[in-house]
Amino acid sequence: MCGIVGYTGSKNAVPILISGLKALEYRGYDSAGIHIVNVGTIKRTGKVAELEKSLPAAIDGTTGVGHTRWATHGPPTEANAHPHADSARIIALVHNGIIENYAELKAALVQEGIVFASETDTEVLAQLIGKEFSIKKDLESAVRAALSKVRGTYGILVAAEREPGKLVAAKLGSPLMLGIAEDGYHVASDASAILPYTRTVIYLEDGEMATVTKEGYRIEADAGPVQKKIEELEWGVEEIQKMGYEHFMLKEILEIPEVITNTLRGRLLSDSAILGGLRDVLPRILKAKRIIITGCGSAYYSGLIGEMLIEEFAGIPAEVELASELRYRRFTMNPKEAVLIAVSQSGETLDTLEAVKEAKKHGMLTLGIVNVVGSSIARATDAGVYNHAGPEIGVASTKAFISQLAVFVLIALLLGRNRELSKIEGERLVTELRQLPELARSALSLRPQIESIAATFRSTRDAYFLGRKWHCPIAYEGALKLKEISYVHAEGYGAGEMKHGPIALIDPDFLSVILAPRDSVYEKTKSNMQEIRARGGRLLALTTQGNESDLFSLADAVLSVPLTHEALQPLLTAIPLQLFAYEMARLRALPIDQPRNLAKSVTVE
Ligand code: AGP
């Protein structure tokens, strides 16, 4: 997610801003910039070090703002990097969050003759503030007036040439805090940028605005001035970056409700979906006779769910191919009748990128479901949908995997409602989608139970993950999670496969994790549990709330998640499996965020 830093005081702001941006690098970003009041703005794509190298030697000033950008609207270019200015260049703005109504605001400003320098939603806000500042008595009044026109989320920090020494910060949905130091005041989106200068902080709440000068600060909300509690930071930098959690992986699993919200944000109608990134190619997708989905690892497994979603709701034949295999296959299908969907969190997985290139050579339309804006796969595909899941630091794909499933639901819904999917069914899906963040929170509340179950099974050396229909891919994904971070040998199978060989391995030392939601294939899955039980196998059952007692006699342990639409259920059952893998690895004191032999992005063959 983007990072914000700001300083005003008696010292040169430049080194303070640069060190603050470096402290925020862990959050992932693709460009960075600073503005020093009455000196100027410098911004660069790439790393903060690039920005630092390009700074004029003697640059000096005591008030400034800085930003690391994780691109959402507009690719990572210098023009799109923050800080952004208004046309008259009297203000400088850095922003975290999403301005949902930026398009209509921008259209109105363009009508007034304002010329935009970037594709970002942030510049729209900068232009609005600049316009207000030309008529308002002070910067804080201009910021307040501009924000009254905005819908969405923001953490912003603004400086103005006309009021040197002043910073105005405002928060709605994106973190911001003040740091009170002896030589001045700091503002940041994350305490790790403030910690080297002070531990004395004030956290802004939603709806609050802080006006900061070298002499002091004032915090207001709509109802007027606010008295804020001054707090002392206890954490070290590393704990702060993990928000106090032991590992990024745990922090990212616990972010899942917010990630589902962000993935769906602005993309749901009452009975369908809006995917701006597919608008121009939608007619071609709707005419497709076949959709080929490709990816690696968890991205491939999310594709297996995507295949079922597209066939179930859009009625278009779909198939999923491992990218590392597809790239060597002969493309026999008529390119005019087939569409490729490449799934990749990093957008840099070489096998997936090469599969995209092969498909393009064959003349196919290629789409991407990618989390990193402007990444190689995002740029190589003809169109696509960004996850908006925020940076995923842990090597294991957790929140990104859930976001990929949510994007596939949106795609299936959009295609379906442009084909035979009924309005009623579309409305039902949307209603259930809107409840998912809350249901995901309920799934996360299983963590204490999962911790004790992991302790029960801690000596496990071999495990099956078993599921049917919507939960067969989740079984594969659960097995991958367990093996990649706890190094326990685990295999995922369609539960119906047990009789065709795997059941030969079942014995009292062998754990089977079975996905048994109360769905259309529940009774068959339950009979798998009976077969395993009859051979003395250990069983961990994951079912849906209200069904637990039906399995107590069969399983050593039973977990349950809320019941939702059968096709959305995988977004919930995947969560306890991620937590189970995490707790099993934590019991083994393994390097969970960087497991041995693994990389976050496999950019080699
Ligand atoms: C998932 O936990 C793994 N880290 C790995 O399988 C990953 O999903 C795979 O390498 C694909 O990565 P991508 O989504 O960045 O393309």
Q: Give the CATH number of the domain where residue 167 resides.
A: 3.60.20.10
Residue 363: partners with Cβ closer than 8 Å, 6 or more residues away:
335, 336
For residues 130 and 10, state if they share a domain.
yes
Query: Is residue 417 domain-shared with residue 460, that is, in the same domain?
Result: no
Give the rounded distance of the alpha carbon of 143 from its chain centre. Answer: 28
pTM (predicted TM-score):
0.77
User: Do 217 and 246 share a domain, yes or no?
Assistant: no
Tell me how many degrees the CA angle 530-531-532 measures, rounded to the nearest 5.
90
- Compute the half-sphere exposure of residue 163: CA atoms within 13 Å on the CB side of its CA: 22
33 Cβ partners below 8 Å, 6+ apart? Answer: 41, 42, 43, 44, 51, 66, 67, 69, 81, 82, 83, 94
Residues 21, 144 within the same domain:
yes
In the predicted model, what is the mean pLDDT of residues 414-439?
Answer: 98
DSSP state for residue 115 in the 8-state scheme: P
CA of 601 to the centre of ligand 1 (A): 7
Look at residue 57 in the predicted model and tell me its pLDDT.
84
Quickly state the pLDDT bin for 382 (edges 50, 70, 90).
very high
The answer to the question of residue 48 being in a domain is: yes
172: β partners: 154
Does residue 283 sit in the same domain as residue 215?
A: no
Domain of 475 in residue numbering reads as: 445-591
Tell whether 603 is covered by a domain. no
Mean pLDDT of 45-50: 93
Please indicate, yes or no, if residue 468 is contained in any of the structural domains: yes
Are both 305 and 325 inside the same structural domain? yes
Of the candidates 239, 267, 282, which is a domain's last residue? 239
Tokens of 109: 């400003």
Domain-ending residue, one of 239, 257, 280 = 239
Q: Which of 88, 156, 89, 164 is nearest to 125 (CA)?
A: 156
Query: How far away, in angstroms, is 144 Cα from ligand 1 center?
Result: 43
In a domain, 600, yes or no: no
Quick one: 448 exposed, middle or buried, by C-beta within 10 A (0-12, 13-18, 19+)?
exposed
The rounded distance, in Å, linking the Cα atoms of 426 and 99 is 27
- Probe ligand 1: pick from 326, 345, 348, 381, max atoms within 8 Å of CB? 345
Q: What is the CATH classification number for the domain harbouring 515?
A: 3.40.50.10490
Beta carbons of 207 and 214 less than 8 angstroms apart: no
Same domain (yes/no): 160, 79: yes
Q: Are both 450 and 429 inside the same structural domain?
A: no
Which pLDDT value is given to residue 72?
Answer: 75
Over residues 68-79, mean pLDDT: 86
- Mean model confidence pLDDT for the chain: 94
Q: At what angle do helices 399-417 and 297-314 cross, to 10 degrees?
A: 20
Bridge partner residues of 171 (DSSP): 155
CA dihedral 218, 219, 223, 224 (to 10 degrees): -10
- Which of 442, 461, 479 is a domain's end point? 442
- Domain assignment of residue 597, yes or no: no
Is 238 a residue whose pLDDT tops 80? no
Q: Is residue 280 in some structural domain?
A: yes
Higher pLDDT, 509 or 237: 509
Same domain, 188 and 318: no
Kindly tell me if the per-residue pLDDT of 165 is higher than 70: yes
Are 292 and 227 members of one domain?
Answer: no
Q: Judge whether 2 counts as a catalytic residue.
A: yes
pLDDT digits (tens, 9 = 90+) for 288-321: 999 999 999 999 999 999 999 999 999 999 999 9
Is residue 266's pLDDT more than 70? yes
CA-to-CA distance for 257 and 293, rounded, in angstroms? Answer: 26
Measuring from each residue's beta carbon to the nearest atom of ligand 1, which residues come in under 6 Å?
Answer: 296-299, 344-346, 349, 352, 395-397, 484, 601-602
**Do 234 and 367 sit in the same domain of this protein?**
no
Same domain, 354 and 415: yes
What's the pLDDT score for residue 1? 63
Q: Hey, which of 346, 356, 381, 594 would you mutate to test ligand 1's pocket, going by the most ligand atoms within 8 Å of its Cβ?
A: 346
How many structural domains comprise the chain? 3
Per the domain annotation, does 598 fall within a domain? no
Is 307 contained in some domain? Answer: yes
Would you say 75 and 32 are in contact if contact means Cβ atoms under 8 Å apart?
A: no
Percentage of the residues of the chain whose pLDDT score is greater than 70? 99
For residues 480 and 496, what is the distance between their CA atoms, to the nearest angstrom? 19
